Structure 1
């Protein structure tokens, strides 16, 4: 191709495949003998096998999850870091995402913290002076970048040929899907988690102007007599098939977490901004409780405007409220109990497919006009599929709050992968619709939780 090379080499009984940005890079890979390739593979298997004492289901889940995380670390033809890749379906053009990267880096903080640092530096370049950021940052070399720009221009000029312009809102050459509501918040959380794990405060100083721009942006997005930022009606956060607007619990959890992070990180560096962020986070908690709690479900509004339309079903992504302490510990336990009874399919007899995993939403969305593409179908994609990364986040919150009962969320999705012969950690799935991308980086979350809390906690029964 104009931007890459693939070489297939038959050597005796072996078939070796090499790829590269250039023929030179591809041929250099073939300098390795077959024996050396096999030896490297064996060493890598051992590196990923971090729970050798676990039962086969848990052990293989952890091994494949760690493989998904480590294999997400990409390097260019010169050996320089080239971002954390999302998954096999997200490779051309090469790009790295804010939200995918945040969840993918959770085990890498333990296994490869330098990759997390380098990812932060790449993502910082995608944040605009006003604090806006795209879904992901495009990282292609000159040849592939030129090919991609040609494709984007042609698809916009000829939408009937390409079905639609690809991608939507592609406003800058470096942007993959510009102006995503959650991306800037993830950048702040990325930095906070990295500093907490490594104590490398130099990265905070390096990126503080970016953090300040993001903080100013979200403070300016609040509605009248409120500190809660309002999301415009668009499909630009993780639920990118849903036109969520107004107060979105998922985004508000990230917002509170980011404001708490700014308060901690800026305490000495920028005391005035830190204090403003601290006060904002505390006021946000009060508003969330007053405006978004749904007594009938024990959960929180998915999205909407109180007094107008609200989507009030249970959604697993409202876990951000618990993860980032946007709600009290007591309310978090109630939320997790609601998820257990309605989103864990083993306990939900209303959904028609038996025990198959943890749904990301139930019941299905009420307003069809808010949905597009795959999510328009009940139990598909954002409308009820099992997403292993949310399974991991859910399991972690159960363990963090002392509830036990995490094994189902940690392993049921993996049992489905094995039953279907799917190779490695998948992006999402549901019984009537199959799976998403293979080797999905953020699907390492269940493995990360097992490493963080240990096998005894991961296998513990639910607490009464």
Structure 2
């Protein structure tokens, strides 16, 4: 998969240069899409879906990539922030066409004719409009759920759009004194987090996007959002507060929550409901109109953890008061999963947590870490709402911590992925077991020991038993030993949850090495990015592995690297030279 030379080169200014016409995924508060310098631009709108495809004259390189921007030898693309509009400079349009569906599951519409009036093209779909205006200094492409929204975008000059884009690039440059590889990674990681903040047509907050490819149906996730907002706790606190209120709408009275909350606009919403209610599989998995994959085991815990992180940063207890009944319901729900009375909930055998291609059951290290972290939030802040419940949570946390080793510690010295001793235990090492360290579910000395095992087993540079050399940090190794516990992509060794590098988890790992004062934090912080540059992947990738390539681009929770840098900036700056 990798090559001895980089297809893309990090520059000292934090940008990325390439001689090849590589794909740029872009994402702003409303507008998003993909640009291929060979001559294709695809634009979509948050809440609406695919809008239009614009064919351009091919661009020539070399190309310089930045967040939401690409500049070639003669042409450039710049995405605004204040409105769903972009500017093309030095470019020539061949043709434009409306999207036939809002998403792959949407109804196929009849082709609509592109209207032309002088320098203006109007590209219409039943769910929105794209306006393309050729000006003396460039081409402006504005998109809207309505004519009014698109027209607001056209009010911006090319100069203003270019300036807004440049300001966003500068905002993402969170480590300007770093060497090229680290600086450019930090820029892309901060961009992944900041660009996840999405807006509705009226400008109000409309969720944190999991990634550019996770927008149809438009939705926001509990887990993806949690790891994404770790950087936003420093970069954009109002977005974190708004995300809490939005996610609260998905919590059911019994404490259950879906993987994500659906936020579609009217037209896309109607199409999604038509698909959801007529497709047997989707109807069984998405039980309510606003549910994206109902009843996920980790989602309610992330809701509590998000509140806790926000309270520790701001002290604004009103947020907890507003959602206390939901927090209490979640607590009671997980107490009911404590089958052994040891304070640890047991997960039913299903594929509904972040490892959604794996049927994990029993004690799951990843979920146990989240649970103990949630107990600490209730114990620390819940006394103002219900003193008795807060004290109960504190007692349960003590009991749970005392039971972790008995339930999960293996003879190899690390914590098992999942299972119940005496029944079945998947005892391979997983990167997501680091939630035990992050939320202090295990003592500090055992956390350091766990991080040592991760370094020796999951860092591919140190694991000579995996056949692909040095390419990143595996999420699990060795592969799952019981094939019946995996499905779809994870059924293949080194693919997806079965050993790929998930950069968000590499960011968690780097964060914990920094937190515990361990050396070699730069490997998990940058190796995924080096692999991306070697392969010509511009931006924050979802996951990758040598035999299977990459997942989607511009993944929000890859902002975990920016979060680690922001939390431990002084040490990073001191040691990065």
TM range (shorter): over 0.9
The 3-state SS of whatever aligns with 1:88 is coil
Deviations 1:207-254 (A, max 9, x none): 111110111110111113332111111100000000011111100110
* Residue number among 394, 417, 426 corresponding to 2:509 in the alignment: 394
Using the TM superposition, give the Cα deviation of residue 11 of structure 1 relative to its aligned residue in structure 2, in angstroms. 3.1
2:569 counterpart of 1:454: yes
Kept in 2, the 8 Å contact 1:407–1:458? The answer is: no
* Residue number among 446, 468, 487 corresponding to 1:353 in the alignment: 468
Q: Give the match for residue 187 of structure 1.
A: 303
Using the TM superposition, give the Cα deviation of residue 127 of structure 1 relative to its aligned residue in structure 2, in angstroms. 0.2
Deviations 1:126-169 (A, max 9, x none): 0000000000000112221111001112322xxxxxxxx23751
Q: Give the match for residue 288 of structure 1.
A: 404
Q: Higher mean Cα deviation, 242-251 or 224-233?
A: 224-233
Instruction: Please give the alpha-carbon distance, in whole angstroms, between the structure 1 residues aligned to 2:133 and 2:538.
Output: 24
Q: Give the match for residue 64 of structure 1.
A: 188
* Residue number among 398, 409, 421 corresponding to 2:536 in the alignment: 421
Kept in 2, the 8 Å contact 1:406–1:460? The answer is: no
Kept in 2, the 8 Å contact 1:406–1:459? The answer is: no
Task: Report the count of equivalent residues.
Answer: 452
Q: Give the match for residue 446 of structure 2.
A: 331
Per residue, is there more helix in 1 or in 2? Answer: 1
Instruction: Please give the alpha-carbon distance, in whole angstroms, between the structure 2 residues aligned to 1:369 and 1:174.
Output: 31
Q: Give the match for residue 431 of structure 1.
A: 546
Instruction: Please give the alpha-carbon distance, in whole angstroms, between the structure 1 residues aligned to 2:406 and 2:442.
Output: 11
Instruction: Please give the alpha-carbon distance, in whole angstroms, between the structure 1 residues aligned to 2:555 and 2:444.
Output: 31
Instruction: Please give the alpha-carbon distance, in whole angstroms, between the structure 2 residues aligned to 1:218 and 1:78.
Output: 38
Instruction: Please give the alpha-carbon distance, in whole angstroms, between the structure 2 residues aligned to 1:18 and 1:421.
Output: 29
Deviations 1:50-72 (A, max 9, x none): 21110011111111111111110
Q: Give the match for residue 169 of structure 2.
A: 45
Q: Give the match for residue 161 of structure 1.
A: none
* Residue number among 115, 124, 128 corresponding to 1:4 in the alignment: 128
Gaps of 5+ in 1: 157-164
Deviations 1:273-316 (A, max 9, x none): 011111111111111111210122x2111111110111000000
Kept in 2, the 8 Å contact 1:134–1:180? The answer is: yes
Q: Give the match for residue 286 of structure 2.
A: 170
Using the TM superposition, give the Cα deviation of residue 111 of structure 1 relative to its aligned residue in structure 2, in angstroms. 1.2
Q: Give the match for residue 78 of structure 1.
A: 202
Using the TM superposition, give the Cα deviation of residue 458 of structure 1 relative to its aligned residue in structure 2, in angstroms. 6.8
Paired residues for 1:195-206 under 5 Å: 195-206=311-322
Q: Give the match for residue 343 of structure 1.
A: 458
Kept in 2, the 8 Å contact 1:87–1:440? The answer is: yes
Paired residues for 1:252-291 under 5 Å: 252-291=368-407
The 3-state SS of whatever aligns with 1:390 is helix
Using the TM superposition, give the Cα deviation of residue 42 of structure 1 relative to its aligned residue in structure 2, in angstroms. 1.2
Instruction: Please give the alpha-carbon distance, in whole angstroms, between the structure 2 residues aligned to 1:409 and 1:459.
Output: 18
Instruction: Please give the alpha-carbon distance, in whole angstroms, between the structure 2 residues aligned to 1:166 and 1:274.
Output: 38
2:137 counterpart of 1:23: no
Q: Higher mean Cα deviation, 130-139 or 11-20?
A: 11-20
The 3-state SS of whatever aligns with 1:9 is strand
Kept in 2, the 8 Å contact 1:129–1:210? The answer is: yes
Instruction: Please give the alpha-carbon distance, in whole angstroms, between the structure 1 residues aligned to 2:242 and 2:472.
Output: 34
2:253 counterpart of 1:129: yes
Instruction: Please give the alpha-carbon distance, in whole angstroms, between the structure 2 residues aligned to 1:253 and 1:74.
Output: 29
Kept in 1, the 8 Å contact 2:407–2:420? The answer is: no
Deviations 1:163-222 (A, max 9, x none): xx2375100001000000000000000000001011111101111111101111101111
Q: Give the match for residue 233 of structure 1.
A: 349
Paired residues for 1:91-110 under 5 Å: 91-110=215-234
Instruction: Please give the alpha-carbon distance, in whole angstroms, between the structure 2 residues aligned to 1:381 and 1:10.
Output: 44
Using the TM superposition, give the Cα deviation of residue 6 of structure 1 relative to its aligned residue in structure 2, in angstroms. 3.1
* Residue number among 363, 377, 380 corresponding to 2:495 in the alignment: 380
Using the TM superposition, give the Cα deviation of residue 28 of structure 1 relative to its aligned residue in structure 2, in angstroms. 1.7
Per residue, is there more strand in 1 or in 2? Answer: 2
Instruction: Please give the alpha-carbon distance, in whole angstroms, between the structure 2 residues aligned to 1:261 and 1:369.
Output: 36
Q: Give the match for residue 208 of structure 1.
A: 324
Q: Give the match for residue 140 of structure 1.
A: 264
Q: Higher mean Cα deviation, 447-456 or 370-379?
A: 447-456
* Bigger Cα Rg: 2
Change (3 A) 1:323 1:87: same
Using the TM superposition, give the Cα deviation of residue 13 of structure 1 relative to its aligned residue in structure 2, in angstroms. 6.3
Q: Give the match for residue 66 of structure 2.
A: none
Using the TM superposition, give the Cα deviation of residue 402 of structure 1 relative to its aligned residue in structure 2, in angstroms. 1.2
Using the TM superposition, give the Cα deviation of residue 102 of structure 1 relative to its aligned residue in structure 2, in angstroms. 0.5
TM-score with structure 1 setting the length: 0.95
Using the TM superposition, give the Cα deviation of residue 5 of structure 1 relative to its aligned residue in structure 2, in angstroms. 2.7
The 3-state SS of whatever aligns with 2:198 is strand
Kept in 2, the 8 Å contact 1:231–1:247? The answer is: yes
Using the TM superposition, give the Cα deviation of residue 106 of structure 1 relative to its aligned residue in structure 2, in angstroms. 0.7
Q: CA RMSD in A?
A: 1.4
Q: Give the match for residue 223 of structure 1.
A: 339
Instruction: Please give the alpha-carbon distance, in whole angstroms, between the structure 1 residues aligned to 2:135 and 2:349.
Output: 57
Q: Give the match for residue 322 of structure 1.
A: 437
Query: Runs of at least 4 residues of structure 1 off by over 4 A?
Result: 458-461
Q: Higher mean Cα deviation, 382-391 or 39-48?
A: 39-48
Using the TM superposition, give the Cα deviation of residue 19 of structure 1 relative to its aligned residue in structure 2, in angstroms. 2.0
Instruction: Please give the alpha-carbon distance, in whole angstroms, between the structure 1 residues aligned to 2:131 and 2:217.
Output: 20
Kept in 2, the 8 Å contact 1:405–1:459? The answer is: no
TM-score with structure 2 setting the length: 0.77
Deviations 1:21-42 (A, max 9, x none): 2222122211111111111111
Gaps of 5+ in 2: 1-124
